[in-house]
Amino acid sequence: MSSEGFLKEVQAIGEKFLLKLQKLPKAEPVEIVSFSVVLLFIVTVLVLTIIACSCCCYSCCGCDGRPDPRRKKSQVSPAAH
């Protein structure tokens, strides 16, 4: 997909979302609740993704972006029977 087609697709989704928000005050309670649940799900996924990425980067690189020398991987050899 070209970048132009992608931008048109994002714009179409944004327009649909804006139209849905404009119709929300007149919507039935079930539709309002379902829209809120979907919105809450999307926000939760985004927040968890940001937390996971930040924790992964922090444990790998540390705050200053350099690897932490104390967190060296140790080789594990099989136990002899």
Question: No. of H helices and E strands in the chain?
Answer: 2, 0
Is residue 35 a contact partner of residue 24, using CB atoms and an 8 Å limit? yes
pTM over 0.75, yes/no: no
Question: Domain extents for the chain?
Answer: 28-58
pLDDT, tens digit, 9 for 90 and up, residues 19-65:
988 888 888 999 889 989 998 999 999 999 998 888 777 666 655 55
- Rounded to 5 degrees, what are φ and ψ at 21? -65, -35
